[in-house]
Amino acid sequence: MSTTGRLLVFSVLIGVVGGLGAQAFIWLLEKAHDLLLVGLAHYSPPGIPSEGGNPNEVVGRFGLWLIPLATTLGGFLSGWIVFRFAPEAEGHGTDGAVKAYHHHHGEIRARVPLIKALTSAITIGSGGSAGREGPGAQISAGFGSVLAKLVGCSNDERRILMLAGVAAGLSAMFRSPLGAAVLAVEVLYGSMQFEAGALIYTMIAAVVGYAVNGAFVGYEPIFDVDPGLRFHGGQELAWYALLGVVTGAAASVLPYVFYRSRELFHKLPGPRALQPTLGGLLVGLLGVAFPQVLAGGYGWMQRAIDGSLPLWLLLVLPIAKTIAMSFTVSSGGSGGVFAPSLYVGTCLGAALATAVNLISPDTSLSVAAFAVVGMAALFSGAARTPMATMFMVVEMTGGYGLMVPAMLAVTVSYLVQVRLTRHARFPSLYEAQVPSLGDSPVHHDEYVHKVVELIHAGRARMPREATPVRLEELLRMGTSIPVEGTGRSIVLTEVREGAPAAGIPLKERPLGGDISILSILRRDRVVIPGPDVAIEEGDRIIALLTADAYDEASDSLELLGPV
């Protein structure tokens, strides 16, 4: 069987596991919810009808005062299990899969998905403010990784099967096959680049996962939205553009709060395993004041879509949910960040429509439409995944008539978020995400290989002592390689400390027509040169240039010479 055929068969198998795994996790989550949040705190948040949930909030005879007991116990159990058996299972699982793709050849330890499922069920079931996409993605991603190892797949094939697992788990969990398939290949990078070669496999796995899960729960969208929902004329698009600005600004704050909270937790004295306990206590205390922030929050999102939440609450909940998510996941609790991000966007969209309608009753914006579009716009910026998010939210809500305003709001949100976070330490909710294909260790060697291809094609003249296996080594050792017919050579050189041009984008200080920078080696990664890229001190540059151009470049970059 061909490699493609074999990977397709494995993708189908991974899709089956993704669908069954989603059902197993939801069952586990329901049991943890009944035992901890309901059993201990006598509280149950509203559910969503598509999953058979009670749409009404249930508060026991003790009111909300026992909620901290449940969330603290959940944090303690989750922290102990994670740090005892699989420390890499802390936090949000999708980021773990992204990290495995870039840095570990797609390898995920077999125990990680099991630990992730158990601890996420405990965290969310006790009231922890997190989503279920992390465990959903890791269950099937872990299976894909383990399967690839068992059958002797190459590193590239293992990465593909791991991505197929991510797509299968997300598709089953959120009933969004197209969005999940695209998200699996888009979430890896922060600049709208994709692992296009894996898309066919993520699509197959996503479809199968969706079909298997649907056999148990049906194929209706998760949220109940009027299928006839539409935007009414071009004049509404201005309001959707404003929604994109608002959600883009919020999406730029979300990663900062999330990762800054993690840093603060890590600075605390005492064992790391106890930090989720503190996080659980804090989110429980917040939940006494705002129980709407507890657990996944799907029922409250449905209420926001229905327009049944007051404006003041819609304005407060995005802030409260962001803090609650940070208390839960940043402390080491187990769960995803997808659902909390959708929650924030839903409330912002509903708040904008409600506020405009109060100020200008003649406008009559649809709260449901703005809630749905806000859901997509917020996450598209915070996760840097505009294409996938737009598809996922439309599939999750059935709001296909909102595709045009969603396209506008998602694009504006993404552009605003990218602009506001251009110098941020944590520009995205996914820390393991890298800016582009060239920044991934998976593709590091491709740029040097291009140089080697020039040589093998006869366009560059090799030194007499060179052999094919030594070509890359020669560049690293300081040998320049002349390119016939151009008067230029390929060299590897380094930028001195204090170089005048360091830190200035190439478009603002061009190096001259006789210089072509092929790639930039920056510490442990490769940077693709472009007009907005700035050379930094200590960069090693693979360049194609003449001797005169080398002297000219040395004036601005203070090159150390071939290295």
| 11 part of a folded domain | yes
- Residue 345 lies inside a defined structural domain of this protein: yes
In the predicted model, is pLDDT for residue 445 greater than 70? no
Beta bridge partners of 491: 543
In a domain, 430, yes or no: no
Mean pLDDT of all residues in 418-446: 82
What number is the average pLDDT over the span 483-512?
A: 69
Supply the pLDDT for residue 78. 93
401 & 543 share domain: no
Q: Is residue 438 in a domain? A: no
Into how many domains does the chain fold? 2
Domain boundary among 365, 387, 420: 420
Least confident of 41-50, 88-97, 321-330, 402-411: 88-97
pLDDT per residue over 215-260, tens digit each?
999 898 888 888 878 877 778 899 999 999 999 999 999 999 999 9
pLDDT of 465 > 60? The answer is no
Q: Give the CATH number of the domain where residue 306 resides.
A: 1.10.3080.10
Q: What CATH number does the domain containing 530 carry?
A: 3.30.70.1450
* 526 three-state secondary structure: strand
Token pair, residue 379, equals 């996450």
Domain co-membership, 187 together with 300: yes
Q: Does one domain contain both 381 and 498?
A: no
Residues 415, 450 share a domain? no
Is 436 inside a domain boundary? no
Query: Average per-residue pLDDT in the chain?
Result: 85
Tokens at residue 360, please? 């200008």
The reply to whether 274 and 166 lie within a common domain is yes
Does residue 434 lie in a domain region?
no
Does one domain contain both 392 and 535? no
What pLDDT score was predicted for residue 60?
Answer: 86
Structure tokens given for 13? 């198998």
Using the 3D structure, point to which of 386, 420, 454 is the last residue of a domain: 420
Q: Dump pLDDT digits (tens) for 175-223.
A: 999 999 999 999 999 888 888 889 999 999 999 999 999 999 989 888 8
The candidate with the shortest Cα–Cα distance to 418, out of 472, 380, 446, 475, is 380
Q: What is the pLDDT of residues 43-100, one digit of tens each?
A: 999 988 877 778 888 888 888 999 999 999 999 999 999 988 888 777 777 888 888 8
Q: Are residues 363 and 451 in the same domain?
A: no
Same domain, 223 and 333: yes
What residue numbers bound the domain in which 501 lies?
444-562
Question: 352 and 463 in one domain?
Answer: no
Do both 462 and 503 map to the same domain? Answer: yes
Q: Does 45 map to a domain? A: yes
Instruction: Report DSSP letters for 83-116, one per residue.
Output: HHH-GGGSB-HHHHHHHHHHHSTT---THHHHHH
Pick the residue with more confidence: 472 or 537? 537
Structure confidence at residue 442 as a pLDDT band (50, 70, 90): confident
* One domain, residues 268 and 320: yes
Cβ atoms of 350 and 315 closer than 8 Å = no
Residues of the chain above pLDDT 90, percent: 50
The per-residue DSSP string of 48-86 comes to -GGGT--SS-EE-TTTTTTHHHHHHHHHHHHHHHHHHH-
What's the whole-number mean pLDDT along residues 320-342? 92
Q: Do the domain assignments include residue 122?
A: yes
Residue 443 pLDDT class (50, 70, 90 cuts)? confident
Same domain, 196 and 327: yes
What pLDDT, on a 0 to 100 scale, did the predictor assign at position 276? Answer: 94
* Beta carbons of 518 and 451 less than 8 angstroms apart: yes
Of the pLDDT bands very low, low, confident and very high (cuts 50, 70, 90), residue 511 is low
